[in-house]
Amino acid sequence: MKIAMVSEHANPLAVVGGVDAGGQNVHVDALSTALVARGHEVTVFTRRDSTSAPTRVLAPGGYEVHHVPAGPPADVPKDELWQHMPAFASRMAEVWQRERYDLAHAHFWMSGSATRAAARRVGLPWAMTFHALGSVKRRHQAGRDTSPPGRIDVERGLCATADVVIATCRDEVRELMALGMPRSKARIIPCGVDVRRFPATEHSVPGRRLLAVGRLVERKGLADAVTALAQIPDATLTVAGGPSADALELDPEVQRVRALARGLGCEDRLDFLGAVGRDRLPEVMSAADIVVVAPWYEPFGIVPLEAMSSGRPVVGTAVGGLLDTVVPGRTGELVAPRDPDALAAVLRQLLDDPRRIRRYGRAGAQRARSLYTWDHVARATEDALAPLLSRVPQEVTP
């Protein structure tokens, strides 16, 4: 298949860890790479966000990245990109008119909207992966949600018009059905993990080192992890993510969480590394004993898979994709979100039981390898996309 992968803000070549660069960037890169390895041709269409970016680049994974000019060629927060989507769609449609693709696969709601507009102009079938939903964000962030107004209605419309919706977990299907999507339209295909990049290792004697990895945004629950840390004697918490190490002091979430730790008397046991590159992350994972993933909500969560692949238990919250990936009592433990006392209790018990840490780690490593490699994800995606090729072309609207 010749696939147009559309990811308006999440450039697969970007450095991840910043506020708007995380799992979606990793997902689009790894899925495209795995589809190319299976013999498909993939071009990723993403917004041009710097003057130095060439229009077309061959990514190390063997797919092409097409930087689409739409809005200023500079960093723009994703919640301010909506106004540029008509231009993004028009530019993309021009390319699709010149170079024939078999189908498009949109990532995130704004990409979905642009993809639908461009696909209608050339009569292309298209698939939708949301990665995150406005309805869920609104529920948890209410007045602090900076998404453009109308996002939820757009998502409802995308559910109705996409040829197939690829959800990443069972919880997402439930949310999509609440938006009116018929169950028959969704396929569940999880995100994956690069198991070669994150090899399973084991400590002969596990210690009391906790690790959190992710973008430094409030909903990732770092404050809850720190509140739990204060209740766990002798444990340390290392945090990977956020801006580069030299810019950490200025980061508002770092300041907020450090102040909390100071107040709770555990600041000396908390260490921020800043953004950690993909190459260094496996080493940081294997230096930990337990990976803590405590979001208020999580559309999927690739970090738990990376921890499992590395042979580390996940102690997390029972939300979103973690409900599918983490098996409580076998590869980790799950507690209710926003409950630091419960988090502290399970962490204390697990830290006091090194044999269980090792057992969970081994089971997680096995589970990652048997269910969540990117090759598994690419095969399932191929199965979901292939039927679209035989669709009667949609009516072309100029």
Smallest gap from Cβ 260 to ligand UDP, in A, equals 20
Q: Which is nearer to ligand UDP, 170 or 359 (CB)?
A: 170
* Measured distance CA(284)–CA(144) in Å, rounded: 32
Considering the complex, state which of residue 242 and residue 361 has its C-beta at the smaller distance from ligand UDP: 242
Question: Which of 194, 289, 306, 324 touches ligand UDP (CB under 6 A)?
Answer: 306
Distance (Å, rounded) from C-alpha 255 to C-alpha 105?
39
By CB under 6 A, the count of residues binding ligand UDP is 20
| Closest CB to ligand UDP among residues 125, 241 | 241
Stretch that binds ligand UDP, among 37-45, 110-118, 230-238, 299-307 (CB under 6 A): 299-307
Residue 89 contacts ligand UDP per CB under 6 A = no
Contacts of 4 (CB under 8 A, 6+ apart): 43, 45, 92, 96, 101, 103, 104, 105, 115, 124
C-beta separation of 163 from 184 below 8 A: no
* CA angle at 168 for the pair 167 and 173, rounded to the nearest 5°: 45
- Residue 274 token pair: 């800043």
C-alpha distances out from residue 247 to 180, 255, 269, 272, 273, Å: 43, 12, 20, 11, 11
Q: Cα dihedral sign for 339, 344, 349, 350? A: positive
Of the ranges 74-82, 142-150, 213-221, 359-367, which one interacts with ligand UDP (CB under 6 A)?
A: 213-221
Minimum Å gap between C-beta 295 and ligand UDP is 8
CB of 137 vs ligand UDP, minimal distance in Å: 11
Does 23 bind ligand UDP (CB under 6 A)? Our answer is yes
Member of 276, 307, 315, 346 binding ligand UDP (CB under 6 A): 276
The residue nearest ligand UDP at its CB is 22
Q: Does 335 bind ligand UDP (CB under 6 A)?
A: no
Give the nearer residue to ligand UDP in terms of CB position, either 9 or 105. 9
Q: Of the ranges 66-74, 249-257, 259-267, 294-302, which one interacts with ligand UDP (CB under 6 A)?
A: 294-302
**Does 300 participate in binding ligand UDP (rule CB under 6 A)?**
yes
> In the set 167, 275, 315, 378, which binds ligand UDP (CB under 6 A)?
275
Closest to ligand UDP by CB, 302 or 335: 302
Closer residue to ligand UDP, CB minimum distance, 23 or 332: 23
**Running DSSP on this structure, what letter comes out for residue 242?**
S
13: exposed, middle or buried (Cβ count in 10 Å: 0-12, 13-18, 19+): middle
Helix (H, G, I), strand (E, B) or coil at 163: coil
| 302/308 with CB nearer ligand UDP | 302
In this complex, which beta carbon is closest to ligand UDP, that of residue 197 or of residue 379?
197
H/E element, 270? strand 270-274
Kindly tell me the burial class for residue 398, based on how many C-beta atoms sit within 10 Å of its own C-beta (0-12, 13-18, 19 or more): exposed
Binder to ligand UDP among 214, 221, 332, 361 (CB under 6 A)?
A: 214
* The one-letter amino acid at 72: P
Q: Which residues pair with 165 in a beta bridge?
A: 128, 186
Q: Are strands 56-58 and 64-68 parallel, antiparallel or unpaired?
A: antiparallel
Residue 278 near ligand UDP by CB under 6 A: yes
Binding site for ligand UDP (CB under 6 A): 16-17, 22-24, 26, 213-215, 240-241, 275-276, 278, 281, 300-303, 306
